[in-house]
Amino acid sequence: MDLSIMIPELLSALPLTLAITFTAMVAGFVLALITTTLRVRRIPVISQLADLYVSYARSVPVVLQLFVAFYGLPVLVGGFGIDDFVSPTIAAMLGLGLYHGGYLSEVMRPAYLAVERGQHDAADSLGYTFRQKLLRVVAPQAVHIALPGYGNAIIYLIHNVALVMYIGAADVMATAHLVMERDYNQYQFETYLVLAVLYSVLCLAAWAIVRFFERRSGKYASDKTVSAPLMASI
């Protein structure tokens, strides 16, 4: 098999794979922030609904969540007459975004709770609102704690993007299967080996970026840990 022909074909589907990954990552991060805030504030009923969402995202297989999004989204928007808006790509972004948000909430919430109680008390003694306490004291420390888990969540998301082929999205994995079928499945090993290298590069790039921010956040978090009690004692 001529790799000079196969590799460009696979790379041609890479932008869609990256677009699905990035959209799901951003949507999941926003959902995780909202969900984590609701869970730590323990607002009656709303917090229980947030817990239920996290349980769904963590308990249901990702491929099944994609099917739910693919077949459920047309039902939700059908009454508005915008059925044509629904596509496998949109469903993939929605399904993976919901999954990533629920999974990431279980990274953010323990990180928030891991910040020393004294840091919360110091911020409260200064009259900080919940938002001010979160942004100025708790978040810098919680981010440093959460970053390793966040890196794992991004890698899992990249892995799970390969499942979108099952709902018809033309990502790298789906393109690879089309290439193999065209060649009568003669070069499956070579094709899957190229895919393995490609996904490894994506995961290593994500790990390197998260590792960079993890090193940068360490000093900033330690500065905040020291400064908050000092401020409270003045």
Burial 123-136, CB ≥16 within 10 A → b, else e: beeeebeeeebbeb
Q: In Å, how far from its chain's centre is CA 126?
A: 34
Q: In the chain, what are the domain boundaries?
A: 3-233
Does the pLDDT at position 97 exceed 70? yes
CA nearest neighbour of 121 among 137, 141, 139:
137
pLDDT of residue 86: 75
* Residue found under tokens 């496998």: 88
Sequence-distant (≥ 6) Cβ neighbours of residue 181 within 8 angstroms = none
Mean pLDDT over 199-207 rounds to 95
The answer to whether residue 233 scores a pLDDT higher than 50 is no
Asked if residues 123 and 138 have their Cβ atoms less than 8 Å apart, the reply is: yes
Q: Which of the listed CATH numbers 2.30.30.60, 3.40.50.1980, 2.40.50.140, 1.10.3720.10 matches domain 3-233?
A: 1.10.3720.10
What's the pLDDT at 7? 87
What integer pLDDT is reported at residue 140 of this predicted model? 82
The answer on pLDDT for 218 being more than 80 is: no
Length of the chain measured in residues: 234
- CA-CA distance, 84 to 183, in Å (whole number)? 33
Model confidence, pTM: 0.85
With pLDDT > 70 as the criterion, what percentage of the chain qualifies?
A: 88
CA 184 to CA 52: how far, in whole Å?
Answer: 45
Tell me how far apart the alpha carbons of residues 3 and 21 are, in angstroms, rounded to a whole number.
Answer: 26
